[in-house]
Structure 1
Amino acid sequence: MADAVKQGRWARRLTWIALILSVGGVVAALIAALGSGNGAWHFRVGFTVLRYAFFAAIAGGVLAIVALVLSQRAKVPGLRTRNVFAAAIALVFVIFLGRQIYTARTVPAIHDVTTDLEEVPEFRALHVREDNLENVPGQDEPELARLSPEDRWKALHREAYADVQPIRVSWTVPETIAKAQALADKRGWDIAYVDPARGRLEATDTTRFFRFKDDVVIRARKDPEGKGAIVDMRSISRVGGSDVGVNARRIREFLKDLRQS
């Protein structure tokens, strides 16, 4: 009897701690992201908070399971729902953030992605960040260390994003840019420059929570093998070293939708 009472007491304590850690971790992550996005603090501060929130959620999930077991043994009513809720919140958050961490570890720490590495689309209205090639990884790898930063970036890009390729469409160059502009508007991008006759569009996409700004240039040229156009695209982050695959995903999704428009 005494053991059951003791287990029940611990079950209640652990339940509250689990709720605080699980729900608090999610809330802290949201505040960190939104605060960084609104300029309240540097995005690296937000990332630091995000890391601790991740560990807090893991701890909360584990404690929720322990508290659930104790409450079942002690037959304490009213704790099952709270612990299941805490565990579920922690699980969803950890899976979501864990996928981001996994992606970050499986893609190179670059932030400039394009469909054409030989004749990279250039910006005219927008500008490439000054430190764009300052911290390209690979300096410690013998086969990459001897390369220039630009060639090292291209080597990493080819290996990771071989599927990011230009597309061929059946429209004229002006028609292609007009469709690209309509699609960019639909996505809520800020259009900085558009010239259908010359086959160029530049825009800025802003991520949802951290409000990172990524610049995009879309280039359409007459297809020498047909009546349509060849479309290239480049997406580059304004800050940070690794984009966690965001720019490549943006290009894939945009060109897929453009092809189907």
Structure 2
Amino acid sequence: MHRRLVFEEPISRAAIWSRRLALFGLTVVVLAVLIFRFGQPSLERLAPIAGAYVFVLLASLLALAAFVRIWQEGHRGVGIAVQAFLLCLLLLAPVAYGGFQLATLPFLADVSTDIDEPPAFSRSRVALTAREGRVPPDVPAERRRAQRQGYPKALPIVLELPAEVAYDIARKACVTLGWQVLEGAAPGGRSGAGRLDAIARSRVLRLYDDITIRIRPRADGSRIDIRSASRLGGFDFGANARRIAAFEEEVKLLVELR
């Protein structure tokens, strides 16, 4: 009786290393994000996150190389390469989406519902301390006009309610959205306008964004304008426009519940 020796094809080393690098890249990305979240936000502290994606890109290239070797030489490990490649795609999806936003949205980090006369941020001691002495700079008029094309729905909120009631609704909307209200002034006085200043933080990286809201009385009710400005970088990836939209939805919901 003769034994038949069966030689199995070796597992592709490129597939093995692609999975290892993909898992390592995932670990580094998660750790870098956690470190960034619990530290002081800055552009320099984004470097470890960007560096982690070097491993992700290398892992995706190795996975593609593994597919080629497996096809040509019949090596095993296609499942390993598929796992690595899918993990890389998952990690690269936010980067690809960010690149799409960079190519399609206006280069802004400050969005206002009033592009002609944006609400001004408070310069009180309380507001300046909370913003670490920072006052968001004015945006040139031509860039504000570009905002109208990129974010056509960022418009003033007009309510058929007295300004005092609109102020209370705007303040409640800020609290419901989880924003930190720094200070407020009810409508009245010389200008007749009320205002609110607040701070919001992004969900993933916990970046600080500054918000100011102006409430003006009208003959038929009131008008609310909101301005949201990012502290870090010159492009907000649409975050401020989304925040304004969320505020508008919350205000309308509170009006309906009255």
TM range (shorter): 0.7 to 0.9
Corresponding residue SS for 1:233: strand
Normalised by the size of structure 1, how large is the TM-score?
A: 0.76
Match of 2:191 in 1: none
Name the CA shift for 1:26/1:258 in 2 (closer, same or farther; >3 Å).
Answer: farther
Q: Distance in 1 between matches of 2:7 and 2:250?
A: 62
CA shift for structure 1 position 93: 1.6
Unpaired runs of at least 5, structure 1 = 134-148
Q: Which moved more, 1:243-252 or 1:53-62?
A: 53-62
Q: Distance in 2 between matches of 1:177 and 1:22?
A: 50
Structure showing greater radius of gyration is: 2
Q: Distance in 2 between matches of 1:3 and 1:47?
A: 49
Corresponding residue SS for 1:217: strand
Match of 2:204 in 1: 209
Q: Distance in 1 between matches of 2:14 and 2:180?
A: 48
Of 228, 238, 246, the match for 1:235: 228
Q: Which of structure 1's runs of 4+ aligned residues deviate more than 6 A?
A: 1-4
Q: Distance in 1 between matches of 2:235 and 2:24?
A: 27
| Amino acid across the alignment from 1:117 | I
Q: Distance in 2 between matches of 1:21 and 1:122?
A: 48
CA shift for structure 1 position 186: 2.4
Name the CA shift for 1:16/1:171 in 2 (closer, same or farther; >3 Å).
Answer: farther
1:35-85 CA deviation, whole Å, 9 max, x = no partner? 233336x63234333334334323323433543565687474xx4554333
Q: Distance in 2 between matches of 1:28 and 1:21?
A: 10
Q: Which moved more, 1:59-68 or 1:178-187?
A: 59-68
1:58-207 aligned within 5 A: 58-67=57-66, 74=74, 76=76, 79-124=77-122, 125=124, 126-127=127-128, 129=134, 132=137, 150-198=140-188, 199-207=194-202
* CA RMSD between the two structures: 3.1
Unpaired runs of at least 5, structure 2 = 189-193
Normalised by the size of structure 2, how large is the TM-score?
A: 0.77
Match of 1:221 in 2: 216
CA shift for structure 1 position 205: 0.3
Q: Distance in 2 between matches of 1:205 and 1:59?
A: 36
Q: How many residues align?
A: 237
| Amino acid across the alignment from 1:166 | P
Q: Distance in 1 between matches of 2:196 and 2:157?
A: 16
Is the CA contact 1:54–1:97 (under 8 Å) kept in the aligned structure 2? no
Name the CA shift for 1:37/1:16 in 2 (closer, same or farther; >3 Å).
Answer: same
Is the CA contact 2:158–2:222 (under 8 Å) kept in the aligned structure 1? yes
Match of 1:56 in 2: 55
| Amino acid across the alignment from 2:196 | L
Alignment identity in percent? Answer: 24
CA shift for structure 1 position 245: 1.8
Is the CA contact 2:121–2:135 (under 8 Å) kept in the aligned structure 1? no
Match of 1:143 in 2: none
| Amino acid across the alignment from 2:108 | I
Corresponding residue SS for 1:43: coil
